[in-house]
Structure 1
């Protein structure tokens, strides 16, 4: 199992021991074989899918890791495909207000992405290049750009 601290991922963009720019083989060695692999195309990166975790690679180097959280409070509804998440956030801690408080406490600023945001579904981009997507006021997607 590959341990990942979800709160640390939100705050710093650190996805366990995976680091920016690591290669394809490093990802396979760390996470194992993906459930699905989509090869790169001229205009799109390679995708490796591990349940609700997505790894994107360009030129066989990691450029993004993203996690889609379940909209249910049941941890069993989250498919981590062999990745062990610690400090999972219950729904009450995934509100816009709670996530904003977590970032403020950690000294991390952010901006609202005006193009990707829509009503009660804002997308924040932190100073550490972590994208936080909210749906109906709850954190649903976390993506760290490398």
Structure 2
């Protein structure tokens, strides 16, 4: 997204390479949190874990009881990942991560986020929460990698079906 004084705010299109770059950076930031996890005590993990669990519960409830709204689900996904990034204790990383995720509005607007994607992400998010709770880095690394690679693959497939750009 780009804002030009007096002119307005413009959304930049996302092509395949931009999405690959975004996903690589997300992976790097989330892996950084995994490396920091041993320095985060169990007590310090409890509040973020409770918020992550609450986000998952609210999303599950919304899937069951409401018409599908890709914007709401995209925002819940961002909230979940920002809680995870926050475990690393670096506010700048949260700012960077949030800026990277601006593509979620384009993805939601262009119907690239489906109910099936959200349900799959929910299962993967539960695996991430379980791994954080256990404090084991390798299962967490695998859960993050699986989740982000799955998301990348699905979004790339959808971008290709949409003419190579959103």
TM-score range, shorter chain: under 0.3
Larger Rg: 2
- Please, what TM-score do these two structures have when normalized by structure 1? 0.27
- Please, what TM-score do these two structures have when normalized by structure 2? 0.25
Greater relative contact order (CA < 8 Å, ≥ 6 in sequence): 2
More strand by share: 1
More helix by share: 2
